[in-house]
Homo-oligomer: A and B are copies of this chain.
Amino acid sequence: MNGGAPAARRQTPDQRAALEARAWRGIRALVLDRYDRRKEVCDSLDMSFIRVKALRYLAEEPLTMRELAARLSTDAPYTTLVVGDLERRGLVARSAHPTDRRSKIVTATPDGVAAARRAEDILNEPPEPVLQLDSADIAALDRIVARLLGSGD
């Protein structure tokens, strides 16, 4: 017995399922119920969240309208509207696609990059309880989260 399992208290399948469910439920509660900062970001940048999302994608790399629409999982017409608004604010700029003249490339301006950065700072700031974890726990959490992200990618 105790085959290839790593060092840990033995778990029955039921116990294990309970741990999985409780842990995931807790994670969801943390992100969605306790420390959802989306509203704060929208207030801070004075724009709807889909615009913030668009700006964050565009600050990372220029995208065509089509690509942006796909990432926002919305349709082309609404993307036109959102980009038009961001452009009017001077946060993004449309330019011609080098090889396909149907396409347009949307790029974040320096102001746009700065705004996206402000949004990221608010969204990614760890909440209080994370700051209060001890060194071992924060290291373990980081490692496990990386594993969760990695296996799905």
Contacts and interface: CB of A to CB of B under 8 A. Distances in A.
Nearest to A132: B151
A99 interface: no
| Copies of the protein in its oligomer | 2
A121 B91 CA distance: 42
A8 B144 contact: no
A24 B136 contact: no
Contacts of A25: 124
The interface size bin for chain A is 35 or more
Interface stretch (A13-21, A61-69, A80-88, A109-117): A13-21
Interface in A1-24: 5-11, 16, 19-24
B24 A127 contact: yes
A29 interface: yes
Contacts of A147: 129, 133, 137
